[in-house]
Chains A and B, each alone.
Chain A
Amino acid sequence: MAGWEEARRAWKEQKRAWKDQRREERRENRPEERGEERRGPVFGWRVWLLPLFFWPLALDVVIELFRGNPARLAGGVLGLVLAWMAAARMARGQRGDLKAGAVLFGVAAGLAAGLAAKVFPPFAVALGFGAYFGVRLLTADLARHEPPPEPAPSPAAPPANDPLAGPRAQLSRVLAAAPHLPHAALLIEAAGAMQGVIDDLALRPARLSEARRFLAVQVDGLARIVERLEAGATPPETLPPLLAELAAAARRLRAQLREAESEALDIQVKVLSDRLRQEGL
């Protein structure tokens, strides 16, 4: 018996601890606790009060069902449905919803007055405008809960997915810094050769994957060398042959790219001429 009591107490304690943990988690998840302003639906009494102004229409709809007057029935139903839609729209709390909801409510009031109450039509329209203005007055300050407008994207922003933008920027930095550094001529020659490869790649983006290693190793390496030289490093004796080798490698790559293009063209020409021959043209 004592064992059972103990088990029950342990189970209760475990349950209490679990509840405390859940409460703590809920508190942490509240936007106010995280220091954020509350966003999302606005469930103010001023919004959900609006359809209640039409409570006589709910009774009227039932009465008109028995009386069998379709215009008045339609007026009552439309008034109730549109007023409910207006409140739901305003409660959504998105940008522009307050105004759209007020317009819907104005339409609901105008239709209810014109169709259900058989008010003289211009008066019904005026009543619709009055209801719109009343809703705007009542809910205008809820607009601060609306999310701010999206910032317009800046037109001058470069395309984010240009893979050649980085190497181009590195080479222009190298070319700008090279004239004041030791082995300026070799540096400019290497950078110029690499610039040629990048220009070729810009014209043939399909070959970009073949030159990825070149972009990653050689252009980056040259930019690092220039950075060190700018910082005042003494160039080692092996630097001039390395720069010459970099320039030669860039020229070789350029030649390879052109050769690949020429081969592709050659194949294309051969295929097309074979096809023409087969067709007997």
Chain B
Amino acid sequence: MRPTPPPAGGPSFPLASAPVAVRVVLGLGLLALCAWLPAFVALFR
């Protein structure tokens, strides 16, 4: 898959120029770990 170049003056963080699929999977994984999991823990604690 073709890597998406970051827009000029735009995002400058690690993996900003990774392919969209990689970024979406990593982003969803991180959000599941850092947002959904604590919320789920809060519900059952």
Contact = CB atoms under 8 A, between A and B. Distances in A.
Contacts, number: 115
Interface string A124-141: 100110110111111111
Interface string A79-118: 1000100000000000000010000010011001100111
A86 to B, nearest CB: 11
Contact of B39 (A116, A136, A140): A116
B40 A138 contact: no
A93 to B, nearest CB: 14
- Interface size class on chain A is 35 or more
SS class of chain B's interface: helix, strand, loop or mixed?
A: helix
A121 B5 CA distance: 36
A134 B14 CA distance: 11
Contacts of B29: 134
Contact of B34 (A99, A109, A139, A144): A109
A60 B27 CA distance: 25
SS class of chain A's interface: helix, strand, loop or mixed?
A: helix
A57 B44 CA distance: 10
Contact of B10 (A54, A56, A124, A143): A143
A138 B42 contact: no
Nearest to B26: A137
A137 B30 contact: yes
Interface of A: 46, 50, 53-57, 59-60, 63, 72, 75-76, 79, 83, 99, 105, 108-109, 112-113, 116-119, 124, 127-128, 130-131, 133-141, 143-144, 146, 149
Given A117-B45, A144-B10, 15 more contacts: A53-B39, A54-B35, A72-B42, A109-B35, A116-B38, A117-B38, A128-B34, A134-B28, A135-B27, A136-B16, A137-B30, A140-B6, A140-B23, A141-B23, A144-B7
Interface of B: 4, 6-7, 9-11, 13, 15-16, 20, 23-24, 26-36, 38-43, 45
Which 5 A-B residue pairings sit nearest by Cβ, starting from the closest? A134-B30, A138-B27, A130-B34, A137-B27, A113-B38
